Each structure stands twice: as structure tokens, then as C-alpha cells.
Amino acid sequence: MKTVTLYPQRIVLQDERHQEVRTIDVYEAASRVNTDNLPEGWHRYAWRDNGGDGHNDTFENWVCVNHMNDYISREDVSALLDEQGGMYFEFTDSDPAKQPIEMPASIYQR
């Protein structure tokens, strides 16, 4: 089975005033991920580019227009993102204990 290596990142989710709400560990997928092909227990999220310097970009459950990247995580924040309609976010220092992971390359297949 062909695999791909995904690298860890940490994201701070923020409310509409850019105040920290929650920090989650994610893995950068570098492309769109098909949730039907994700292993059990993993969740896919997307980065929406809202233009400018990135300060108003949002982290959402699904992005069609202005999609920048997908991320996967074991942490389920779907309800929080739905409730907020997506959230502002910023990257922060990754957990040094988190290592890259191998995922089946099929996560990208449609």
C-alpha cells in the first residue's frame, strides 16, 4: 500500500474577536482529502483564504472557494466549527513530541 507522510502542526482556533478558544494538533495534508477514505477516528478540516495578510483566514469543516489546504486531526471540533460558522486561527509552536505520520495515499482519491 502506498503511503504519504503528513507533518504535525498546532493551530489555535479563535473567536470573532480573535480571542483564543481552543488549541488543536493537526497534520498538514497539502491537498484536498476525501473524508470517505480517512481511517476511523480521523477528521478533516480546511483552511479558507479570505485575502489579505492571512489575519482573517478561517478554519472550517469544508471549503469549496478560496481553499488553501486540508488538515486532519484526531480531535473532533466539527460541532464548534459549525456553531461558529468557521473560526479564525493562527499557527503556533507544534508539540515536539508529535512526530510525522504515515497515511494511506488513498486519502486523496475521489
Q: What is the pTM of this model?
A: 0.92
Residue 22's CB: how many other CB atoms inside 10 A? Answer: 14
| Total of domains in the chain | 1
Range of the domain at 35: 3-108
Residue 60's CB: how many other CB atoms inside 10 A? Answer: 20
CA 90, 53, 17, 29 dihedral sign is negative
17-53 pLDDT, tens per residue? 999 999 999 999 999 999 999 999 999 999 999 987 7
58-79 pLDDT, tens per residue? 999 999 999 999 999 999 999 9
Please state, in angstroms and rounded to a whole number, the distance separating the CA atoms of residues 110 and 93: 32
